[in-house]
Structure 1
Amino acid sequence: MKKILFGLIPTLIFAVSPDQGLKDYQKKYSMCQEKTNYKISQCLINGNLNYARFRGDRYSYRKISTNKIKKAARGGNIYNYTMNLMPKTQRYTSLKKYMDHLYSIKKEYMPPQFKGDEAEDIIKIKKVFNLLQSAHLEESPDITPDFEAEVLEYQRRHGLAVDGDIGPSTKRELKTPIYNIIRKVKKNLTLERISKPKGSNYVLVNIPEFKMHYYDNDELVLNMKIVVGKTKMRTPVFNRKMEYIVKNPRWNVPGSIYRKEYAHKSKSQLKKLGLKYNSEGKLYQPAGPKNALGIVKFLFPNKFNVYMHDTPVKSLFNRRVRAFSHGCIRLEKPVALLNELGYSYNSKKNKWITLKNKIPVYVEYHTVWVDDEGIVQFRNDIYGYEKKLFSKAVYHPASAPTAQKPSTKKQNPLELF
């Protein structure tokens, strides 16, 4: 039996010995094998996402022709064909290894329920840390410095307030059942599988992390906090190449924002906000210290009109959850990025720069990933994509497949395995 654990369902079987199970299993196997292998490979290679349920560009993700997958299934080479298309990146292989680890501990994983027995809760919390963080804590009710250090580490890994206090948010995270953790990892494995390969020089924005990372020659040279779109004005998932930098930009207020926030205001009110109308009757904000775009913006032309920019409202970077923008990406340290790209900020004049070397910018959505230090990171699903994008039938954790009695009901081939 060949089996692989890729996060689609617990066991994906490409070749099954036909003498297993009931007498009619061989017939069912021969009828469904080709179709089943195609369905499984299709989900592994292209994902099983409902792209209509998210704000973004379908072409940000890999898409292999279904005809090519069907041809491999008919030719009996579907296993090797699928394996060759799996990512070889450290992010993917490390997360895949972590999911295998989760399956290995699922029977002994017992999260605390916080029902009043503090001693029992501490023991269970320590067990969670030992299993998930490879801690080596003695599973006793004693609160030790090592235990307190692991609490802080858990909070860092889950994007919680790193205060050492096992408060409501930390308790809620600790109570998560193992199957929910597995499901979350599976969905993110899918996103890793279908993400387009990146080169050695690129910008990566991870929306749920509220961070931007800049890689040069495959090395992380800069990362910073960001502010992303509100839940009703979501930052889209897409990738484009950065082509321009604008120093001291003026802000031309988009029509959608104008109608919602400024159309009802008087000229005197707008003046207090530093806004004025141009000769064509369009609202704009001149360059200056109060300009909404700050002192620099980075353009990677796209249909969403989304870009990265500075902001005069620096206080929002002190927040843990930073979803406040109209969709654009506000940068904590824009001048640092400007410098890394080979430019400096030395004038208050408006200036457009056309980049000689265009930098790919990937705006992605990962709620679980392995960071550059090899640590598995978890974040909240701020836009609800874990429910909106994925098929429950495929991504719901299930027990290992067992032989079933024949049924006259027509089955989805995926359900057979």
Structure 2
Amino acid sequence: MNELAVVDLTDPGFWSNPYPVLAGARSRHPLARGVDGSLIALSFDAVEWVLRDPRFLTTDLLAPRGITEGPIAEWWGQVMFSANPPEHTRLRRLVSRAFTPRAVESLRPRVAQITEDSLDSFHGPTADLVAEFAHELPIRVMAAMLGVPSGDHHRFAAWTADLGLVFSSVHTPELLDRLEAAINGLNQYVAELIADRRAQPGDDMLSGLIAAEADGDALSEAELVAMVENLLFAGHDTTRSMLMIGAALLLSHPDQRALLSNDPSLAAQAVDEILRYEAPVLGSGRDAAEPFDLFGVPVAAGETVTTMSLAANRDPDAFDDPDRFDIRRPGGKLMSFGQGIHYCLGAALARLEGQVAFPMLLARFPGMELAAEPAWVPYASIRRFEQLIVTID
């Protein structure tokens, strides 16, 4: 058995182009190690195994980053994707009815209208697709679903975007101050929003969450605040990344752009290929509940294994010619939304937003071009650019 390669997530160069490093490490073994000795799952099979095996539990992503108390730690302790069964099962059951395929598909006209309104704000000759497209669209969609007043969405858009940096590989005192300000602002806003909705219920998702009950169980006040924050955060930041990444990929691959422009029915395949080729989320961590061997490597009880979506989605054993961006690629299983019981609750909504938005963007601005190559933000586990500047014909 080959010795495990070492993948250095603290190297800024890794974040600008991780694929050669990941491919080299994956060719030696399905697993690698971080510079701290922790295990990283790289191959498609290894990532899927870790995400589906019930012997792996959700890890505390914040403690290794030095966040063990305070408002950020309290927030993380309440959000659904940090919980394990049976608590996770209970929370997911209470909220999942809002994300059924039928419920999500019913939002298509609303998403199209929001997209059209967002594109109307472009006034050229240049635009920043991060600020004016990727940032705006998902927060407006989630605000519409939750019944958030339209004038307020900019307030929590900044907070949720900042919170996405909590999973960065490197933390600074300045970043921690920024994160605490974001969660404090979001906590206060969401509590006020819930109080208003209790007084005046509507037909929105927030009213549904307040009224949600299953088998005589309902969300507590603290759980309700955390659930709304969970939805705002997850529904904004990762979709925001997918939209900016997808726009950059389509604009930098003229042949694929032309295919989608000429045949918008390829939108579903295009979105899945964007998610595969450049996964918006680096991966996630899982803790072993007991000792066992994983692909021939001993894993101790309590040891953390980090899954690497970027490596799994470009595994040549799972995808033909994986380093080629091809929106006609046949659909298949991806690791971009996770797998198993923590599979992303909002995956269908994120896909819908991309399926609607990308064809509309290309149709509205057929002469749009990248003004500069976008730069990846280093250490951001929810991958992003600060800007995506384009010229508009």
Fold conserved between structures, TM > 0.5: no
Structure with the larger RCO, 1 or 2 (CA within 8 Å, 6+ apart) = 2
Give the TM-score normalised by structure 1. 0.24
Q: Which has the higher strand share?
A: 1
Larger Rg: 1
Q: Which has the higher helix share?
A: 2
Give the TM-score normalised by structure 2. 0.25
